[in-house]
Structure 1
Amino acid sequence: MSQDTLSEFVAATAAEFGIPGAAVGLWVDGREVFACHGVTSVDHPLPVDQDTLYVLGSVTKTCTATALMRLVAEGRVELDAPVRRYVPEFALPDEQAAAQITVLNLLNHTAGLDWRMILDTGEGDDALAGYVAGMAGLEQIAPVGARASYSQVGYNLAGRILEKVTGLPYEQAVATLLLKPLGMSNSVFAPAEAMTRRFAVGHNLDEDGTPVTVRQWKDTRANNPGGGIVSSVADQLRWARFHLGDGRAEGGDRVLPAEVLHRMTEPTVALQASTLGDAIGIGWFLRDVDGVRTVGHGGSANGQFAELLIVPERNFAVVVMSNAGPGGVPFNQTVVRWALRTFLGVVDRDPEPLPYDEARAREVVGGYENDAMTFTIGTDGAGLTLEVLIKPEIRAAADTELPSDYPPFAIGLLPGDADEYIVTDGALQGQRGFFTRDADGAVVGADLAGRLLAGPPPPPGEVRYGAAPAARGNG
């Protein structure tokens, strides 16, 4: 497979999905291969290269988890220890939950914490401390340890553990523990550090399909542990190679013991009907694809999207970055699937949905919500649709520009009795989820991409984890 073939595929796929600028990196047959296409911005275009910085969103969680595992290896943190051992001021309305949540619960998304908390605590070194203080008003959405539910909040709290144990701001702690030892000189957090280098900006499409530059470049500083790293495709391929290795940097210095590094890719909790994976390790999603085990994580920012996938048994990695929605996610997934098929002969197929069933459809139709989004499933009598919207009050309260909402997607129910479904068109095509039921068999919640959304609130006097509270005390 020639460099030209990869470049031609990336260029054609970027055109198909309306991506102004993309960067792709492969580690295959013991060598690095890059294909960079297009421009950093439609307003002030510069060619994308392998050192162009992208906002990687939740791929950052792999850094936060690995930094904490270095502290575990040094005996400074215990995975099964309660968070309060390291952050004694941590509080929730549910005192029992606050006392029970462990470090591992944060890293494998089993703490029962909601997806996000809309709270801007500024850009100072006290941003994470203020964010954790705001959690005193955050209700649980599930009992501690009962299930996985993807949580940005949990990873931001994990970042505060790094601060408390090292005595350094989160960003400096990650740089000291990981970025500098691994030679990742093109990975930063602060806009002031990125602005002197070549960086991509996000885009969304206007009404006629033209890419328009978005004005919010990245999230608030308190969200850095869960989604704030800015990095290049070359640095991320170096990151992937580290996780394929034995815990040493390229120069031979030991960063993590091999057994600790490999523990991160061992299952800790199973996932149901999730495109993210079949299970969660420590900071990584684990998935079997066509009989081959993969390790990965994706991320999204405002008009920027990233995907990192590792195949340990084949010493293979693929990194994809793109800078436009809504095409960024399907573009990244298309490139990853092509790379797996082309270089490894591994085919990633979506399951086929069932024909429309009116009785089953009527059970799931309705509204669901979490702290930031509404999730509405409707039917026209011939098919099901899913509409995911950011809540109007969240948009109104936001100090920065939020991503545009997508039009409704078609979804189909999957075979079996597990109440699973798949998105069959649009920007989220291929995403899977499932519905949850109460003891009486009524549908009371829905999952999508590992995130729990609650259905209608229970009758007065009934306590039901997963039901959305009437108000949040998170500012």
Structure 2
Amino acid sequence: MSQDTLSEFVRETAVKFGVPGVAVGILVDGKESYACHGVTSLDNPLPVDRDTLFVLGSVSKSFTATVLLRLVADGLVELDAPVRRYVPELVLADERAAAELTVLNLLNHTAGLGVRLVVETGDGDDALAGYVARMAELAQIAPVGARASYSQAGYNLLGRIIEKVTGLTFEQAVASLALEPLGLSDTTYTLDHAITRRFAVGHNLDEDGELAVARQWKDTRGNNPGGGIVSTVADQLRWARFHLGDGRADSGATVLPADLLARMQEPTVELQGSTLGDAFGLCWFLRDVDGVRTVGHGGSGNGQFAELLTVPERNFAITVMSNAGPHGPAVNQAIVRWALEHYLGVVDRDPEPLPHDPARAEEIAGIYDIDVMTLVIAADEAGLTLGVGIKPEIRAASDTEMPSDYPPAAMGLLPGDGDEYIVTEGGMTGQRGFFTRDDSGAIVGVDLAGRLFTRVPTAAN
């Protein structure tokens, strides 16, 4: 694959979706290629390059999980141990859940915890402790171990375990146990580091439908374990190279034993009808595409989006970062799919939805919510639409700017039992999920992006 061909596709895709800046890194059999397009900011533009810092959002979880497993290798943490062994002060909304919760439940998102807390606990070294102290405010949406449901809060709690065990701040622990041994000098959690470098800012649509700079650059310090890391495509390829390897740094020193590195990529709990994957490993999303196993994680921030995907059996990795919503995820997905096909011959296509069924549409139409967001499924003669937005009261209570909502976009049901769906338009194009039924067969919830949204009761249901 020529560099010009890659660069041209990246440019065309960014222009098509109206995203100001995109950075791409690809690793094939040890050889790195890069393609960058556009600018870091519409207000203060600089060219995006391979060393431009982007906020990676939930890709950060792969660092938290790797450091946690480093502590497992050192005998300081046990995966099946109760979390209270390490954080005895933990209080949750459900006391039974707090007592039963294990480290493994947090790593593979089977804790049954709500998605996140919107709280500000400051920028001090006690930020994470303050966050965990408020976790009793978080909903317990399922019994511990009953199912997978993605939780930012769960990974923030893992970060607190790391602090308690090491005696360091979370950021210091990640730096000393992962970033420094692997030479990831352009990966950080701190603004002090970022503002001395070239960095991208996020963009969201304003009230007039025009892209505007997002004024909150990254999440709060209390959210660093789940979503606070900042990096470049060059550093992310180094990170991918490590996870495709045997657990050793370039120096030959062991950062993580090979068996634990491999265990991160082994299924622990299945996912149903999810774009994210077929199963969770230890943090990683595992997905079979066209006969090959992929291992990866995506992330989103305030108008910034990242994707890191590896194909271990083909010694391949791709990282993509973009800086505008709502179409950043679509840009990232298009580039990842193109690279899989053109570099590996692996084709990733969305399934075709069924023809519109008014009776089924009426059954599932409704309002569904989680702690911070509301999902609205509406039906009319043309078909179904799905929209997702942050709850107004959450926006009102937040002291910082929050990402823009996803307006209603077309969706369709998929063949099979009819309880899986796919979004076919808009910024969530290609997102898949499924509906949950109770013992009577009534629809009581819907999964989107690995998160369980509970149906809001109405007179009709």
State TM-score, norm by structure 2. 0.98
Q: Which amino acid aligns with 2:254?
A: R
> Offset of 1:93 from its aligned partner?
2.3
Comparing 289-298 with 128-137, which one deviates more in the overlay?
Answer: 128-137
Offset of residue 406 of structure 1: 2.0
Indicate the SS of the match to 1:249: coil
Deviations 1:423-446 (A, max 9, x none): 011110110011101111111111
Report 1:430-449 matches (<5 A).
430-449=430-449
Following superposition, the deviation at residue 416 of structure 1 comes to 1.3
- Tell me what 1:101 maps to: 101
CA distance in 2, matches of 1:458, 1:85: 42
**Separation in 2, partners of 1:102, 1:369:** 26
Aligned to 1:250: 250
Map 1:367-378 onto structure 2 (within 5 A). Answer: 367-378=367-378
Shift of the alpha carbon at 1:360? Answer: 1.2
Q: Counterparts in 2 of 1:287-326, with a 5 A limit?
A: 287-326=287-326
Task: Provide the residue aligned with 1:76 in structure 2.
Answer: 76
How much has 1:210 moved relative to structure 2? 3.7
SS in 2 for 1:271: strand
> 448-457 or 165-174: which moved more?
448-457
The aligned counterpart of 1:49 is: 49
**Larger deviation, residues 247-256 vs 141-150:** 247-256
* Match in the other structure for 2:145: 145
Q: What is the percent sequence identity of the aligned residues? A: 73
Q: Does 1:217 align with 2:217?
A: yes
Distance, in Å, in 2 between the alignment partners of 1:330 and 1:427 is: 6
Could you say what secondary structure the match of 1:317 adopts? strand
* Distance in 2 separating the partners of 1:209 and 1:387: 16
| Distance across 1 between alignment mates of 2:458 and 2:10 | 49
Per-residue displacement from partner, 1:131-187 (whole Å, max 9, x unpaired)?
111012323100000000000000000000000000001011100110000000000
Q: Does 2:353 match 1:390? A: no
Q: CA deviation at 1:382?
A: 2.9
How do 1:222-233 and structure 2 match up within 5 A?
222-233=222-233
Shift of 1:384: 0.6
Q: Which has the higher mean CA deviation after the structures are superposed, 207-216 or 11-20? A: 207-216
Q: Which residue number corresponds to residue 200 of structure 2?
A: 200
Matches within 5 A, 1:355-370: 355-370=355-370
Instruction: Check the 8 A contact 2:116/2:138 in 1, yes or no.
Output: no
Q: How many residues align?
A: 460
**Greater mean alpha carbon deviation, residues 407-416 or residues 277-286:** 407-416
Paired residues for 1:344-363 under 5 Å: 344-363=344-363
User: In angstroms, what is the RMSD of aligned CA positions?
Assistant: 1.3
For residues 418 and 191 of structure 1, the distance between their equivalents in structure 2, rounded to whole angstroms, comes to 47
* Structure 1 position 403, deviation (Å): 1.0
- 1:268-306 CA-partner distances (Å, limit 9, x unpaired): 000000000000000100000001100000000001000
The corresponding residue for 2:136 is 136
3-state SS of paired residue (1:247) = coil
**Structure 1 range deviating more: 401-410 or 169-178:** 401-410
Change in 2 beyond 3 A, CA 1:94/1:401: same
Q: Distance in 2 between matches of 1:127 and 1:316?
A: 37
Q: Which residue in the other structure is 1:423 paired with? A: 423
**Contact 2:34-2:50 at 8 Å conserved across structures:** yes
Instruction: Name the SS of the counterpart of 2:428 in structure 1.
Output: coil
Distance verdict in 2 for CA 1:390–1:49, change over 3 Å: same
Partner of 1:155: 155
Q: Deviations over 1:415-473 (max 9, x none)?
A: 111511000111101100111011111111110010001013599xxxxxxx9xxxxxx
The answer to whether residue 259 in structure 2 is matched with residue 259 in structure 1 is yes
- Output aligned runs, 1:29-68, within 5 Å: 29-68=29-68
**Following the alignment from structure 2 to structure 1, what is the Cα–Cα distance between the partners of residues 277 and 75?**
30
Q: Which residue of 1 aligns with 2:87?
A: 87
Which deviations, in whole Å up to 9, do the C-alpha atoms of 1:312-337 show, x marking residues without a partner? 00000000001111110000000000
The secondary structure found in structure 2 opposite 1:401 is coil
Alignment check: 8 A CA contact 2:64 2:174 kept: yes
> How far, CA to CA, are the matches of 1:85 and 1:391 in structure 2?
35
Give the letter aligned to residue 302 of structure 1. Answer: N
Tell me the distance in 1 between the aligned counterparts of 2:398 and 2:19: 27
How far is 1:252 from its partner? 1.4
The aligned amino acid for 2:288 is D
What's the secondary structure of 2:426's corresponding residue?
Answer: coil
Q: Offset at 1:387?
A: 1.5
Cα distance in 1 between the residues matched to 2:9 and 2:382 = 36
1:29 CA displacement: 3.1
Pair 1:336-2:336 in alignment: yes
1:267 is aligned with what amino acid? P
How far apart, CA to CA, are the structure 2 residues paired with 1:442 and 1:319?
41
Structure 2 CA distance, aligned partners of 1:232 and 1:275?
25
Distance (Å, rounded) in 2 between the aligned partners of 1:52 and 1:458: 48
Amino acid at match of 1:415: P
Distance between the aligned counterparts of 2:29 and 2:137, measured in 1?
Answer: 51
SS of match in other structure, 1:197:
coil
- SS of alignment partner, residue 277 of structure 2: coil
Distance apart, 1:30 and its partner CA: 2.1
Show the counterpart of 1:177.
177
* DSSP 3-state at the match of 1:278: strand
Spell out, residue by residue over 1:83-138, the C-alpha distance to the aligned partner (whole angstroms, 9 max, x if none): 00000001112111100010010010000000111111111000111111101232
Could you tell me how far apart the structure 1 residues matched to 2:271 and 2:458 are? 25
What amino acid sits opposite 2:424 in the alignment? T
Unaligned runs of 5+ in 1: 460-466, 468-475
**2:374 alignment partner, SS class:** strand
Deviations 1:180-219 (A, max 9, x none): 0000000010111110111100012345654311100001
Amino acid at match of 2:275: T
> 1:385 corresponds to which letter in structure 2?
T
Structure 2 unaligned spans of 5+: none
Further displaced range: 29-38 or 50-59:
29-38
2:127 maps to which residue?
Answer: 127
Structure 1 Cα separation of the partners of residues 381 and 337 of structure 2: 34
CA offsets, 1:212-269, max 9 Å, x none?
1110000100000000000000000000000000000122111111111000000000
Paired AA for residue 90 in structure 1: L
Which TM-score applies when normalising by structure 1? 0.95
